Amino acid sequence: MDYFRINTSPTVDMSYCILDDEPEGTNMYSHRMGEGYAMGDKYPQDATWYMSDQFPGIKLPSLIANTGTYIVVERRLMEVFERTGVPMECLNFTLYDHKKREASRDYFLINPLGTFDCLNLEKSEIRYSKELPGAIVRVRKPVLDSQKLRSAPDFFRIKEDPYVKVLSHKLVDELRQLNPTNVYLTQMEQS
């Protein structure tokens, strides 16, 4: 089966809005959403997020680009992710436009919980720490291990780089049926 990396910050159509950082009130805990840890009660019940003043776009796409590497999608896409059965949080927020007016309450930050051991460490391009033997500084080019993928869920984070979210071909096909806007995927190499 093929697997795809989802681009969380596409800037192909500048008429679409872009979000900075993270929802207000989460900055002390934003690393949790970035690395796949549950926010739980640390996530504000009345979370708000403002369109970036650095980018003038105002249109609402299916996937909103953001600077925090989060998957931010409209309800229809969130429901497809949710149906995978993968442990995740679907964190709702109120979206405000550049003039601080409410634009939508129908978007969710998808936080897949945990990671999955899926890389071929020998074939991936990985930068290791010089100070801490074996510690990974950065995965420059991830190469998935087809043997490890036999038990892969349809949606997961890479163990060695949890900021990367991976979707199965099956999940991608389900999302495509909705004809979403601003969703860009890159097929991942396997060995």
Tokens 């009130």 belong to which residue?
A: 25
Which residues are registered as beta bridge partners of 126?
139
- pTM comes to 0.94
DSSP state of 171: H
pLDDT for the residue numbered 133 = 86
Nearest to 48 by CA among 96, 16, 89: 96
Closest CA to 36 of 173, 172, 186, 160: 160
Q: What pLDDT is recorded for position 11?
A: 82
Tell me the C-alpha distance between 103 and 115, whole Å. Answer: 33
User: What is the predicted pLDDT for the residue at 126?
Assistant: 95
Per-residue pLDDT 10s for the chain (191 aa) are 999 999 999 988 999 999 998 999 998 999 999 999 999 999 999 999 999 999 999 999 999 999 999 999 999 999 999 999 999 999 999 999 999 999 999 999 999 999 999 999 999 999 999 999 889 999 999 999 999 999 999 999 999 999 999 999 999 999 999 999 999 999 999 99
Q: What SS3 state is found at 12?
A: coil
pLDDT of 142 reads: 98
Nearest in space to 6 (alpha carbons), one of 176, 190, 191: 176
Domain residue limits, the chain = 3-116+148-190
DSSP state of 19: E
Rounded CA-CA distance 12/2 in Å is 24
Q: Tell me the backbone φ, ψ of residue 132, rounded to 5 degrees.
A: -115, 100
Quick one: which H or E segment has residue 75? helix 75-82
